Structure 1
Amino acid sequence: MSSENEIEVTEEERIPLLPSQHDPNQNQNCNNTSVCSVPNQRVASLDVFRGLTVALMILVDDVGKAFPSLNHSPWFGLTLADFVMPFFLFGVGISIALVFKKPLNKQSATKKVIMRTIKLFLLGVLVQGGYFHGRGNLTYGVDLNKIRWLGVLQRISIGYFLVSISELWFVNNTILVDSPASYVRKYFIQWVFSLLLCSVYLSLLYSLYVPNWKFEHSNLLGSGLASIIENIHCEVRGSLEPPCNAVGYIDRLVIGEHHMYQRPVYRRTKECSVNSPDYGPLPPHSPEWCLAPFDPEGILSSLMASITCFMGLQFGHILVLLQSHKQRVLLWSTFSFSLMAIGSILEILGIPLSKALYTLSYMFITAGASGLVLTVIYYIVDIERLRKPTVILQWMGMNALIVYALATCDIFPAVIQGFYWRSPENNLVDATEALLHTIFHSEKWGTLAFVIVEILFWGLFAGFLHKKGIYIKL
């Protein structure tokens, strides 16, 4: 049964906390430091934030080869690309706070959360499992013995599920928040749950014994199809290095090495690539683990990644509970800088930044950066109301899922490349990219120009869907 107060969980926030434009018939008490709730509108800054995240993902994915410094850090460190996943997760957390901001039927809502989690996970398997071979390889199909089970949408689905369940079942909705103390009481159990997840991750990462292991790979230097068995010596606890960490060990144990990502970022380290920080041939006397699989969206690291969702959830709570622009910006800024400071201190104390492992320092710094970027966008879009410069990002944010699936997973470019004249090179995608290379007299800057055009295309495509009232959601 559904109740009168039930909220459609599969909808993202459709009720705004911010009016889209000033209406003289609204409450006269609304001024430039307060907000009046207006039904059936969206928080524009959150759409822009999501759109920026998708645009950033397209940028770093497609120009990473031309500008390796923009690509993911080979193992330790932080680059522009390493902020994309936390931005996604942070935005999911804010959306959950907005979706569940009213009392609702918990049993019915839980069923909808479970169904959306399953849909997101399966969509992730479809777009990243190996079915679509993408640009440069116009084929389709996957060997079920090698299908990749984990990926970006799968990690988002895990974070979405854990945070949604905590928001439904671990929040005391009988408490009216009218002071910091009541705020703590309302969300105390939820915070304990998130600390428990964090503790499980840290305990396994630093205490789980990682034994010796082996993997099989093709002989890249030989002319035949012979395989080579490589033995990796570990027998350690608490290692954060590529071959012997608990994150990779749990994935190998649970899902198997053939179902993991086969081209991990550590192949771009100095130990594994002569072109580091880009991919390249193995250097002489490279370690055995250079060709081993590793999943950047692993099972254990997804527990820590879900904490980023919890961070976004708390920012969403502030958005729901406070009506003053000034209070929101002040608290968001304070929390953002505090998170970044904590992450920096943890790094100094010896916990390195690693997106691949989703270390504690990485989580704090990227969550703080997410909050800071959202605060800036909120000020520009929803306080100063400068909407036109960000409208393309806003459109992309309204249909972030379809843009992600078609653009960043190379489905649409591969389809376009499938139509060519006489040879596969004579297609619209490659012809446009070659033209821009010629105009800019540089392959690197021509690639960057092509990606900017690509982002504009997807922004306009999302705008077309918006004008038609089409929103793709699960």
Structure 2
Amino acid sequence: MGTYEPIKNYDEDYNGEAKLDSSRNATSTAEDDVEMALQISQSRSGKSTVFNEESAIERRRANKIDECSLSSSTSSSRHQSQRQCQRLVSLDVFRGLTVALMILVDDAGGILPAINHSPWNGLTLADFVMPFFLFIVGVSLAFTYKKLSCRVDATRKAILRALKLLALGIFLQGGFFHHINDLTYGVDIKQIRWTGVLQRIAVAYVFTALCEIWLKGDHTVNSGSSLIKKYRYQWIVALFLTSLYLCLLYGLYVPDWEYPIPTGPLSAPKIFSVKCGVRADTGPACNAVGMIDRKILGIQHLYRRPIYARMKECSINSPDYGPLPPDAPSWCQAPFDPEGILSSVMAIVTCLVGLHYGHIIVHFKDHRVRILHWMMTTSCLIVFGLALDVFGIHINKVLYTFSYTSVTAGAAGILFAGIYLMVDVWGYSRMTMVMEWMGMHALMIYILAASNVLPVILQGFYWGQPQNNIFKLIGIGT
């Protein structure tokens, strides 16, 4: 999920201040890739200074062997050492912590509804997982496309990676893998779910990657204003996406609609009608986010266990799922996708915010300067998001509102800065080795733990009947 994979064979300095000789050897090329890791190492020994691009080039020319290569005598071990140094450890730790948080809320959310996703407006622990992942993807992309040899080739690779992630998401979340209480297999194409967590990450990844590849200037970065000037077109894109989202959410007319609920294999489905006929509604029944998904994707392809089914209007066990109250509104059982089309627009904005945090790492090498820029951005995001909530644009994960985007991106910035300070500045990496490992294998863990792949494998071993499996012994499932 957005790991740091530098693109090599780049013969021009990132800020356009100088060009390196095309005949430089492989060692000096590796020095470019590990420059950020070298600065971290120097800062730990008390030698951290504000980064000067021209002096860095001179140091690279004068020193043909970098710190990473000194730890190995063979070319293969030197390559492994360089790959280790060019990773930002705090980013892996942050990713691993987010994976652990995802597993916690998925497994314990049913037991502790307070940490589960908010039924509608509001913010809970589970609501931070998705924006944290998107934020991490954005930070990683600042390193992945720091240096480019060919924009067209980089674009092709970015699109290919996104398509692979999209296909994996549809396969895992489209309906093929059963739930623990459902031992049937296979996908009904008429009802397959097209959206999901990995699909949303794929869309945000490719859009942000294209912005990073094509929409950045050649300006020298030596201050906050010059940083914004260099990436001003990316900020314009973020502003455009936010404006588009707000215009559609508050401007589209939502008419009355209806949906079917199956009553039995041989019985006709029951039809429920939902009365709307409004604009600018952000409630569960008549918002533009759900309307766009119903029109484009089709209601039969949406998520069938909507989060708002845990609201007081729809569950007597609220904030947990439960039986419908006698006076439940007609929309309580309607499908609604939490990773829909319009809400994914703001998910891209979260990814672009993460990209900005990555740019700060790329262009500023002093720890204090980095943290200062991060804290300024974080403070503005959180204050702005809370102000929007007070004035009526409520924090809502399902709709991915502007206030939700701001607050969660700001929270991601605070957590990332704290982990960076602890791991990459103070060097307390042993305490976070488990999280670092999880972060380096995040996609594998997600597939096994969060997509029911491991339960599918375990349920494949049974005695007598499929229902007699290990999960029945421990009281889970049928």
Give the alignment's TM-score, normalised by structure 1: 0.84
2:123 paired with 1:47? no
Local SS of the residue matching 1:308: helix
Q: How does 1:13-412 map to 2 (within 5 A)?
A: 15=34, 17-18=36-37, 31=47, 39-40=82-83, 41=85, 42-172=87-217, 174-219=218-263, 225-412=267-454
Local SS of the residue matching 2:146: coil
Q: Within 1, Cα distance between the matches of 2:301 and 2:213?
A: 33
Unaligned runs of 5+ in 1: 8-12, 435-474
Larger radius of gyration: 2
Q: CA-to-partner distance for each residue in 1:373-421, whole Å, 9 max, x for gaps?
A: 1111111111111112211111111011111111111111221122134
Check conservation: 1:3, 1:105, Cα contact below 8 A: no
Distance of aligned partners of 1:233 and 1:422 in 2 relative to their CA distance in 1, 3 Å threshold: same
Shift of 1:180: 2.9
Check conservation: 2:151, 2:214, Cα contact below 8 A: yes
Q: CA-to-partner distance for each residue in 1:222-243, whole Å, 9 max, x for gaps?
A: 8963311111111111100011
Q: Within 1, Cα distance between the matches of 2:36 and 2:468?
A: 50
Local SS of the residue matching 2:270: strand
Distance of aligned partners of 1:242 and 1:16 in 2 relative to their CA distance in 1, 3 Å threshold: farther
Check conservation: 2:8, 2:148, Cα contact below 8 A: no
Check conservation: 2:44, 2:425, Cα contact below 8 A: no
Q: Within 1, Cα distance between the matches of 2:191 and 2:234?
A: 38
Check conservation: 1:134, 1:409, Cα contact below 8 A: no
Q: Within 2, Cα distance between the matches of 1:28 and 1:62?
A: 39
Distance of aligned partners of 1:180 and 1:20 in 2 relative to their CA distance in 1, 3 Å threshold: closer
Which range moves more in the overlay, 107-116 or 178-187? Answer: 178-187
Check conservation: 1:270, 1:276, Cα contact below 8 A: yes
Shift of 1:31: 2.6
Q: CA-to-partner distance for each residue in 1:194-230, whole Å, 9 max, x for gaps?
A: 11111111100000111111111123xx896331111
Q: Within 1, Cα distance between the matches of 2:232 and 2:213?
A: 14
Q: Within 1, Cα distance between the matches of 2:132 and 2:44?
A: 36
- How many residue pairs get aligned? The number is 422
Local SS of the residue matching 2:261: strand
User: Kindly, what percent of the aligned residue pairs are identical?
Assistant: 48
| Aligned-pair Cα RMSD in Å | 2.6
Distance of aligned partners of 1:28 and 1:267 in 2 relative to their CA distance in 1, 3 Å threshold: closer
Local SS of the residue matching 1:145: helix
Q: CA-to-partner distance for each residue in 1:138-187, whole Å, 9 max, x for gaps?
A: 33201100000000011111111111111111101x21112333222211
Q: Within 2, Cα distance between the matches of 1:154 and 1:75?
A: 22
2:415 paired with 1:415? no
Give the alignment's TM-score, normalised by structure 2: 0.83
Shift of 1:5: 1.7
Q: Within 1, Cα distance between the matches of 2:257 and 2:303?
A: 17
